[in-house]
Amino acid sequence: MTTTTIQGSLIGTRSVTGGAGTVRGVDPRTNQAFGDEFSLLDSDQVDEATRLADEAFATYRSTDPETRAVFLESIAENLESVGTQVVETAQRETGLPEGRLSGELVRTANQLRLFATVARAGDYLGARIEPALPDRKPLPRPDLRQVKIPLGPVAVFGASNFPLAFSVAGGDTASALAAGCPVVFKAHNAHPATSRIVGQAIADAVISAGLPVGTFSLVYGAGKSVGQQLAADPRIKAIGFTGSRSGGVSLMETAAARTVPIPVYAEMSSINPVYVLPSAIRDNAGALAEGFVGSLNGSAGQLCTAPGLLWVPEGAEGDAFVDLVVEELSRVSGLPMLTEGICRSRVEGEKRIADVEGVELIARGHEGDTENAPAPTVYRTTAENFRARPELSDEVFGAFCLVITYSSEADLLQAVDSTEGQLTSTLHLDPEDAQDIRFAQDLVPAVQLTAGRVLFNAWPTGVDVGDAMVHGGPFPATSDGRSTSVGTLAIDRFLRPVVFQSTPEALLPQSLLDSNPWNLVRRVDGEFVLPENQ
């Protein structure tokens, strides 16, 4: 008989056994539970985590850029030191292949180092100084000094589909810590063991950096009850979330109903339309069909940027391209989905779309050889039917796509205007084709109003992490289309600007002193000024 150990949450750096039941990891390829049990916290224990975060805030927000950068780099090093264990555990808990998870581990460590660079540079603080002009007419100008300050403790929720890069040490945690905000992280119950390993790597970095223990906590709990408690807790000042539209909207409603509302940065629903113009399929139809199916079925379609809508021109060329998609799809099999529940939702979502009048099945791959591995499928309808039936815009999370045929440029433009907010929109066209370039000049201004990232002649799956990336979009892709959860601008979500007017030097923050002890690039009297050592 196999015995299991009960592991606890990390409230600060201390392991705490919860009093509200337990969860275990489940291998979605077999539906078999395995490994240790993880105890779920009750409300009083969750309250302790937010209290510690609140107590840590005053000290942690005051850390200098170098201290914060070294802390983030230490997390990355700790994570890499347990990398083999993390990948093996995550593979068993999610069914994702080793190569995908190894790459995600590298991305997670690189994200931490990227935000260490951001913290060290300090430009995210946006320091601006306008010296006093006492003799200015008709009114003198006071001394004005602006800087961005951290909001306070942040509650972060782990994503099901990225057990590393959008999880415990992922982009939301890294950007919040870089901003100077303690983090209370709600572990995803689908990969509890992976979360615990990564959480310990962060806790060890907190200890080695000599930071307050409440700088980071990892809590296990029932998803809805703990989520609502964190969203309602007055000590939590912002929320980072990646998940379903219903889950994100529920957090938004709770946060907005507080006596003092707080921002919720939720990445939710996106079906990532791909617009294929006629020129793209005249000479490249085979490669286009192959690329589409690879993007559709990668990671079992469980990527927030998977293509869920494919717009194709009516006529012989469009039909020939669709035939190639059908042929390509017949060669692939379904891959294991993350959980039995997610697989069930995928099957039910397909059935809802299939039952809509005017929708027909055109291609189905093969079921996978494990549990929870439904066949990838593609259905078809017309642009007119798509516009008339809003339910066809509902996300089906998984390897599922709706091909939509359009009759003219005006038909496609009208459809774009009725499209919900998306993380991505993609255009495929021949850049040498004058007619399609002219059409794209009308299409792009419409598309950019509906998406956070506009791609050309590529596929939306795959998000590069850097200064220029935007992983966000108008609702319902995200709760706030002005923000991004990937890239260095993600730090802005957890900051707000404050102006110090005619402030004695002894009371100014370090970032605004004339001596510039943190060596920041600052905007002084309208001009960017480099520190003396640059």
Catalytic amino acids?
Answer: 267, 304
Q: Phi and psi of 186, rounded to 5°?
A: -90, 110
Judge contact between 279 and 429, C-beta under 8 A.
Answer: yes
Of 291, 299, 295, whose CA–CA distance to 337 is shortest? 299
Q: Three-class SS of residue 38? A: strand
Q: Three-class SS of residue 524? A: strand
Judge contact between 114 and 171, C-beta under 8 A.
Answer: no
Judge contact between 361 and 382, C-beta under 8 A.
Answer: no
Judge contact between 293 and 322, C-beta under 8 A.
Answer: no
- C-alpha–C-alpha distance, residues 176 and 284, integer Å: 44
For residues 345-374, one letter each, b for 16 or more C-beta atoms within 10 angstroms of the residue's C-beta and e for the rest, the string is bbeebbeebeebeebeeebbbeebebbbbb
Judge contact between 459 and 288, C-beta under 8 A.
Answer: no
User: Who contacts 382 (Cβ-Cβ below 8 Å, separation ≥6)?
Assistant: 358, 404, 405, 406, 407
Tell me how many degrees the CA angle 21-25-31 measures, rounded to the nearest 5.
115
- C-alpha–C-alpha distance, residues 163 and 199, integer Å: 12
Judge contact between 24 and 36, C-beta under 8 A.
Answer: yes
Tell me how many degrees the CA angle 426-427-432 measures, rounded to the nearest 5.
150
